[in-house]
Copies of this chain bind each other. A is one copy, B any other.
Amino acid sequence: MDSALSDELKRLFNRAPFIVDLGIRLDSLGHGECTTVLPLQPRHLQHDGYVHAGVQATMADHTAGAAAATLLQAGRIVLTVEFKINLLRAAKGERLICRSRVLKAGRQFTVVESEIFCSALEAEQLVSKTTATMAMVAPQNG
């Protein structure tokens, strides 16, 4: 990934209001890969004290989109077509780490997997797994 694309993606990441509002931060970007981090706050929780599935879904989707975007052709944008998330364990801890990886890149659509880990004390546990389909479209196709 060239540094101009990398800079552009970092800039876009910090301009998505919902992501900035939640506190999700870009940790690293690579060829077909992205990692993000979310320091957990009380407002991210369910009434039972566990992280809300919607917080994980947001992080899984957005990180997957950034991973797909590292492989974009010029003049194209990434749109989420669909994603499915399996919640594996109740998540409680200090922060979430999301690691997304492109499984198959294509001209029209790209499939990405996102794994979210919850870290507490010194341990890290896989708490959800997402598979997402991203469309790579010219902006007017929205």
Residues of chain A touching chain B, judged by Cβ–Cβ distance below 8 Å, are 12, 15-19, 21-22, 42-48, 52-55, 57-59, 61-62, 77, 79-90, 103-104, 107-109, 111, 113, 126, 129, 131, 133, 135, 137, 141-142
Q: Which residues of chain B are within 8 angstroms of A129 by Cβ–Cβ distance? A: 103, 111, 113, 131
Q: A83-B85, A133-B133 are in contact. List 10 more A-B contacts (CB 8 A).
A: A16-B47, A17-B44, A18-B46, A22-B54, A57-B57, A57-B61, A81-B109, A88-B103, A103-B129, A108-B108
In the assembly, what is the distance between CA of A61 and CA of B55, in Å?
Answer: 11
- Ordered by A's residue number, 22 sampled pairs between the chains whose C-beta atoms are within 8 Å are A16-B46, A16-B52, A17-B46, A18-B44, A18-B45, A52-B58, A54-B54, A54-B59, A57-B61, A57-B83, A82-B82, A82-B84, A83-B84, A86-B133, A88-B104, A88-B111, A89-B104, A90-B142, A103-B129, A113-B129, A131-B131, A133-B133
